[in-house]
Amino acid sequence: MQARVGGAGALLAAAVAVVSISASLPAVSPATAASGDYKLATQSLPDGRTVVARWNPCQTITYRVNAALTGSTTSQRNAAIRDVQGAFSRVSAATGVTFRYVGTTTQIPLNSSVNRWHTRQNSAEIVVAWVGQTRSSTRTNLLGRSGSGYAAGTGGYAFKYWKSGSDPWRGASGRGFVVLDAAQNGKFRAGFGSGPTRGALLLHEIGHSLGLLHVGATSQLMYPTVLSRSTTGFASGDLAGLRRLGSSAGCVTTPGWVWSDLS
């Protein structure tokens, strides 16, 4: 079984100097930092420098989950939430970053004619939501298409750059999202393990929200399609990329007037 997942494109909101990944396949990516089997999203600062799009790995990153469309019973919805928590636990082990679950939400990340998704996301740094594209109340315009249908999922981030006095320009990501097509729930077995699991899909899209891009190596979880394969999670290239985004790369001191800390 194969399931297409969301990729990376760049949109600039110049008024607030924010870049977000929100497009689907085929991937149209910003410049990348690449080594072997991983690729990192990068952004250009106003002084011409190109930097890796990183979160501050020294902060606690909060997340909420909208699992309303993952099943008709409380048990099914709770199982989906546990998979999200398990995915963030695995990402934390790979990056050294602390993630904290702060509860459920009814929010669905989307761009409106008035503002972008990240300007309304004030209850957690990252929102994970299952969406239903056939109803206006559960639809998002962040989930791109894959062939004749929608991608199984998309992950993205918002990035801001700033300058204080004579200091050089700096930048950091501060909000993220993961949206998953509820119509494709049946393609992914609950939990983690080999093959196309819900856990693998979540790991892939959370990887995008942190700054990982698609790679061409089928051995890596960041390959654009979740394959029927033996891997049970992040592979060596995925892990190498996550280390470059994590605590071993150092803190990114971000002023509160750039990104409010929601932890």
For 136-154, the pLDDT digits (tens) are 999 999 998 877 789 999 9
The full set of domains in the chain, from first to last, is 3-249 (3.40.390.10)
Q: Model-level pTM?
A: 0.89
For residue 10, give both structure tokens.
């760049």
Residue 160: name the closest of 22, 255, 24 by CA. Answer: 255
Q: Does 227 score more than 90 pLDDT? A: no
- Percentage of residues in the chain having pLDDT higher than 70: 86
- Tell me the pLDDT band of 19, cut-offs 50, 70 and 90: very low
Q: Does 39 score more than 50 pLDDT? A: yes
> Which tens digit of pLDDT belongs to each residue from 22-37?
222 222 233 445 556 9
Q: Say if strands 126-131 and 170-181 run parallel, antiparallel, or are unpaired.
A: parallel
Q: Distance (Å, rounded) from C-alpha 216 to C-alpha 71?
A: 33
> Which tens digit of pLDDT belongs to each residue from 53-82?
999 999 999 999 999 999 999 999 999 999
Q: Does 177 score more than 70 pLDDT? A: yes
Outline where DSSP puts E strands in the chain. 3-4, 10-13, 18-21, 32-35, 38-44, 50-52, 60-66, 98-104, 126-131, 145-146, 149-150, 153-162, 170-181, 225-226
Give the pLDDT of residue 232.
Answer: 75
Dihedral, CA atoms, 248, 249, 255, 261, nearest 10 degrees?
-40
Query: How many residues in the chain?
Result: 263
Q: Does 176 score more than 80 pLDDT? A: yes
Q: Distance (Å, rounded) from C-alpha 211 to C-alpha 39?
A: 9
- Tell me the pLDDT band of 93, cut-offs 50, 70 and 90: very high
